[in-house]
Amino acid sequence: MYTKHKSGFTLVEMAIVLVIVGLVISAFLTPLTAQLEQARNAEARRDLSEIKEALLGFAVINDRLPCPDNDGDGVDDGCANTNATSTSGGNVPWATLDTKQLDPWGRRYQYQVNNAFSAAFILTTTGSGAGLIRVCTTNACVATEANNVPLVIFSTGQNGAVLPPVSLDEQENVDGDKDFVSHDFTNTAGGFDDLVVWLSTNVLMNRMVSAGRLP
């Protein structure tokens, strides 16, 4: 007697299909995720470059650099003093500068300024002692990328939501002192993906002289 067999997948066949589909999706998602992250990093670098230019423009107009925003409204909140031996840190004063508030990961761009530059400055203005803002290659700060700069701006990158950061180098960027770390991205010891930009005294003074704001 002829028996009609029902067509369709067995549970085993269905499981195999699902595994294959999962592998195919994973193969497509991995490079896509990497591409999206590269795009976010590129966007953050553009934003930081625009913020740096806005800070230079602010200095040319006001003969000083702005102080950070510390209450979240994006407005320069003023610095406690104009002592060259102290610094002030907080959010980039995005409303004052008319720049972006948030990085591509939804966190505010950060800003540290030597207080001597938060008032009208001259060609010989510089930080000293505890006011020396440094950009180092590691948290130990044995070697520096830049020394005694007027300001630093940065994004904590994709992993910036982890506070405190696992990476010692990233911890240095959010500990509130005058030392910062900038180097290539790494995946070791918690990873490092901060994007750090600074303004040198030479660039600032040259812009002020070119604009006729300093002799």
Tell me, yes or no, whether 4 lies in a domain: no
Residue 7 has pLDDT above 70, yes or no: no
Q: What is the mean pLDDT of residues 95-102?
A: 98
Tell me, yes or no, whether 105 lies in a domain: yes
Between 20 and 199, the higher pLDDT residue? 199
Residue 93 has pLDDT above 70, yes or no: yes
Tell me, yes or no, whether 89 lies in a domain: yes
pLDDT of residue 148: 97
Tell me, yes or no, whether 215 lies in a domain: no
Q: State how many domains the chain has.
A: 1
Q: What is the mean pLDDT of residues 17-34?
A: 69
- Two tokens at 42? 């590129």
Is the bond preceding residue 164 a cis peptide, omega within 30 degrees? yes
Radius of gyration of the chain (CA): 24
Q: What is the mean pLDDT of residues 121-149?
A: 97
pLDDT of residue 190: 78
